[in-house]
Structure 1
């Protein structure tokens, strides 16, 4: 496993984790919904989310940590330099989910292989390709023939008009609009060459 880098306010990251020994994380459709519910509780207040995909045994998110002012604990009223630890919030998410799954399915032991892996997103090209890579993951892993049929990613949420905590407008503007967003996904099927050196670790 790679050496963990610190998560810093204002920076963009690819966050990912998988089940212990590639164990299934989501056994039922409502497991996916519950994981996203916990994500909204523990993580959304402190990050902007641009893309995600939940697969049976692993998950991916593309986020930007909010600036320092927004990272101050909401429960503290006095002026302080103390910031919320995103690492701790991510741990709360995984622990809360694992506790519920263990109880529901009468299982014991670690559910996740490790805490969230992370890679800093440091270029426009990486940001663009990573959105596509995250959405294409179900097809990449042979779960279905067309990634757009997968219901547990942000691909359709980005195109939807329904309420969302995603940075929908920013993503669509980045690609030049909804038609261009669709076209980029359709025309770049399985072409990860631009970011292969950056994503190879999370494939292991």
Structure 2
């Protein structure tokens, strides 16, 4: 079995991508948006952290979190959010024999992708990536049209104009 190693920098800022197991044609996350919000809020009350930016698409989501200065444990937070979300749903998903034997649901991919954000420029790039993601995946014509993200709060705080990226084609597939 692979040995996944994660850094443990207390107080760090992190970018996450979390996916549903069955991504094709699945709209569970937006259909159950209120459940997801409640699970994130419950975990924030148990183990505080700050949410800097987020977007929830039908089958995956991106988040930027900042952990408290003395805390590096984002993995427990994600495990609890995913578990709480799954517990409230009827068992209707397809599950492999391995998942059944382990008593696991077939809702989430087991792993998620994380990256520690190291400076202000990188933070800006990831915030923009998050807010442009619904456009990239064809769910909205412009970021302001997608209701399940922090984009509108950034507009309200004067960080973006309401039509940000509306007429610009941005390339989020390259590193440059």
Is the TM-score greater than 0.5? yes
TM-score (ref. length: structure 1)? 0.67
Tell me the equivalent position of 1:88: 76
Indicate whether 1:57 and 2:59 are aligned: yes
Residue deviations 1:10-49 (CA, integer Å, cap 9, x gap):
11110111111425252664x1121011111114642211
Query: What displacement does 1:107 show?
Result: 3.0
Q: Which structure 1 segments of 5+ residues have no match?
A: 72-83, 161-171, 173-177, 199-204
TM-score (ref. length: structure 2)? 0.77
3-state DSSP of counterpart to 1:182: coil
Structure with greater proportional helix content: 1
Indicate whether 1:47 and 2:49 are aligned: yes
State how 1:2-81 maps to structure 2 within 5 Å. 3-22=4-23, 24=26, 26=28, 29=31, 31-43=32-44, 45-68=47-70, 71=71
Name segments (4+ residues, structure 1) moved above 6 Å: none
Indicate whether 1:118 and 2:114 are aligned: yes
Q: Residue 5 and residue 184 in structure 1: after superposition, are their counterparts in 2 closer, same or farther (change >3 A)?
A: farther
3-state DSSP of counterpart to 2:170: coil
Q: Which structure 2 segments of 5+ residues have no match?
A: 96-105
CA distance in 2, matches of 1:123, 1:40: 27
Tell me the equivalent position of 2:151: 155
The two structures, once aligned, show a CA RMSD in angstroms of: 3.0
CA distance in 2, matches of 1:114, 1:197: 26
How many residues of Structure 1 are paired with residues of Structure 2 in the alignment? 162
